[in-house]
Amino acid sequence: MSPVAEQIDPAFQTNPAYTVSRIHRDTRFSKDKTPYRDHVWIGYKYPKTHTGESFVVFAEFERERYGYGMGMYYQNNVLMNQFRARMTAKSGTFLSVVNEKRFRDLFQVFGDSYKRPRYESENDALVPWLNLKQLSFVHYSTDLSRTMRPEIADEIREGFLIMKPVYRFLMGLD
């Protein structure tokens, strides 16, 4: 996954010690022997940033589903304001990359909107995007049999490449 992540953003931290989650913790001296987490993930973000302050490219595996995509784990006003500025400055480009058929067919948009719209635009199609508090694009599947085959890596790499133009636009890399 790391070579594809570096194609998306060469500044990503790709060292597995920082990108792969731990599911277990040292329980030798603990009464609580449960796992640290109930799912695992791979997440690519900038070095020395916390997950909550980043726009992360990720793949995750849970008991009932797996998924991959990009997004924010928490509301980040600074990052969203940067995204809004890019969306407004180049609305045609933004709308074309998020409405590209392969991207739109694969990824769902997640993010809470403000109850009352705060942002307006001359382009009505842009208004729902501007009024999001946070933003994520994720593909989820409940077909867990796919996770037991090596082809899952190819599927995730292809998904990463499909979302590359959207990530690069939002982050101001293109």
pTM for the model: 0.89
Pairing of strands 108-110, 56-61: unpaired
Residues with Cβ < 8 Å from 134, sequence gap 6 or more? 71, 72, 74, 75, 76, 80, 111, 112
- Report pLDDT for 61: 93
pLDDT at 163: 98
pLDDT tens, position by position, 94-123: 999 999 999 999 999 999 999 999 999 889
Q: Are 94 and 129 in contact (CB under 8 A)?
A: yes
Please give the pLDDT value at position 110.
96
pLDDT at residue 15, as a whole number: 92
What percent of the chain lies above the pLDDT cut of 70?
Answer: 95
What pLDDT, on the 0 to 100 scale, is given for residue 37? 66
Close Cβ partners of 8 (under 8 Å, ≥ 6 residues apart)? 44, 57, 160, 163, 164, 167, 168
At 18 the pLDDT is 87
Mean pLDDT of 83-103: 97
Right CATH number for 2-170 from 3.30.930, 3.40.30, 1.20.58, 3.40.50? 3.30.930
Domain ranges in the chain are: 2-170
